[in-house]
A and B are shown apart, each in its own frame.
Chain A
């Protein structure tokens, strides 16, 4: 029984790891080796594939763009999401239930319903005076704002529930001492909500890092601003007979490697963050 268990588990483990290992192998092979026997080991480790992918295939550029967009997107989501969730959880006012319900309704909204109008909304904001050039089509600013808006439903939903579980006494004591509402939020309630904030942050970082559909629509033409998923998909789908296969596999390896490192370092946190997300 134990042997059979191991055989089954090992089978799936192999099915998961082999494609990834194979990619890394191919990424250090020469063109001839890639088109030779797919399972052979490379004669020498060719790191020039990686150099070409980083520079000529612009993977370095794409990765930097992804980092900037996701950093701003997640920071914005967490700040605005936590502010809205806190107010909705802790303050009674007219319309608070409606606002909360509208945010939660967003959880059930498929992005394909709103894709077309969203494109025109972002296009039109590009014509606004002053801010227009920073938030229209083909701008990182526009993509960040859209990421924030689309990440709010889950963030608000999760953090509202979390803020409701926190004890009131600390905040009340601070109010008695004369602290302002804003100060109580930033210096007392937000630090107390840390475990919830960490889980949702991980959820949002991964979600925004892996996003493909929204950048495809909102960053259609300016290659220099493309994010990693867009860049890699483009290298793969436009690769014809004269394609640089070594660089393609290196690009793929380059995109996978940080995820392996992050997963190895934070695997417990990531599992908790994502499984918390499953019960939305």
Chain B
């Protein structure tokens, strides 16, 4: 029996563990080593250069701009998405006391959620057309008809990144509306009723009961959205001009990793960028979880 057992365990684990080792764990270890080499070109022989790549990154203007754009998205995508989603979820579920839901709440939820199932690439292609700078895009047609000059956010170095931000929020909000609505629905009704008897109004109920009780969900969403903001690739690569342009005004770290590795064949340098991205992502996740945990202890 014991012999059968051991063979069974080994047999069931062999293939998944092998695949995972070959395609995930070993590339991960290799990346850390390649980042310390000057490997350039598919057939070149890599040479160990220590932390040279990382030193060069600190002076690489394009990469620093890319990192800056990621940090801006990191600062804005989570609060905007979560703020809008909380507002919509609150409007959809009513103020909790009567548990009256807005008419058509189910339909709103279905519509809001839909962008989430679309591939990011499709969303990017869609908005590339909508924001077309000539007079015929969906955005510009009514503007020009009213006599305004057409706008081209994707062709404008000051506006393009805001277009990226808008698209990211546009796609993400619906998912969090559904998540938060479910959270609100699971809060016991008596809590709202008791507070309402004590004279709390709609806004106070939301701030004092709904929000604190959704805390864990909001925290998980914040980490998730933050990691997504640091990992942005498809929207930038497909929607913006020149894959991160115009003039590097929308580029992000992931796009620079891809560009350096697969357009310029700078494999060592690209791996160093990947390591930086990994460190920032992990640092952010740990920071959010730490900060919010401390607060929670203070409250209790």
Contact = CB atoms under 8 A, between A and B. Distances in A.
A and B interact: yes
Interface of A: 1-2, 5-6, 8-9, 12-13, 15-20, 22-23, 26, 34-39, 80-81, 83-84, 86-87, 91, 93, 99, 102-103, 106, 108-122, 125, 145-146, 148-150, 152-153, 156, 180-182, 185, 206, 209-210, 212-213, 216-217, 220, 228-229, 232-233, 236-237, 248-249, 252, 255-256, 259-260, 262-264, 267, 270-271, 274-275, 278-279
Interface of B: 4-6, 8-9, 12-13, 15-17, 19-20, 22-28, 30-31, 34, 84, 87-88, 91-92, 102, 108, 110-122, 124-130, 136-138, 140-142, 145, 170, 173-175, 178-179, 182, 202, 220-221, 224, 227, 230-231, 233-234, 237-238, 243, 253-254, 257-258, 261-262, 267, 270-271, 273-275, 277-278, 281-282, 285
A99 B13 contact: yes
Question: Which DSSP category, helix, strand, loop or mixed, fits chain B's interface?
Answer: helix
A83 B20 contact: no
A233 B173 CA distance: 23
A29 B273 CA distance: 45
Given A86-B12, A108-B282, A113 B138 contact: no
Given A19-B130, A117-B271, A150 B111 contact: no
Contacts of A20: 114, 126
Contacts of B84: 12
A110 B92 contact: no
Given A115-B274, A116-B271, A145-B19, 20 more contacts: A16-B114, A20-B114, A37-B136, A38-B140, A83-B16, A112-B233, A112-B253, A115-B261, A121-B22, A149-B22, A150-B24, A153-B24, A180-B4, A181-B4, A213-B233, A213-B258, A217-B258, A256-B122, A275-B178, A278-B221
Contacts of A99: 13, 17
Contacts of A12: 84, 88, 112, 173
A148 B19 contact: yes
A232 B121 contact: yes
A67 to B, nearest CB: 14
B168 to A, nearest CB: 14
B117 A116 contact: no
A153 B258 CA distance: 23
A145 B121 CA distance: 22
B126 A19 contact: yes
A116 B34 contact: yes
Contact of A16 (B91, B170, B182, B271): B170
Contacts of B13: 83-84, 87, 99
Contacts of B277: 110, 112-113
Given A8-B88, A13-B108, A212-B120, A117 B125 contact: no
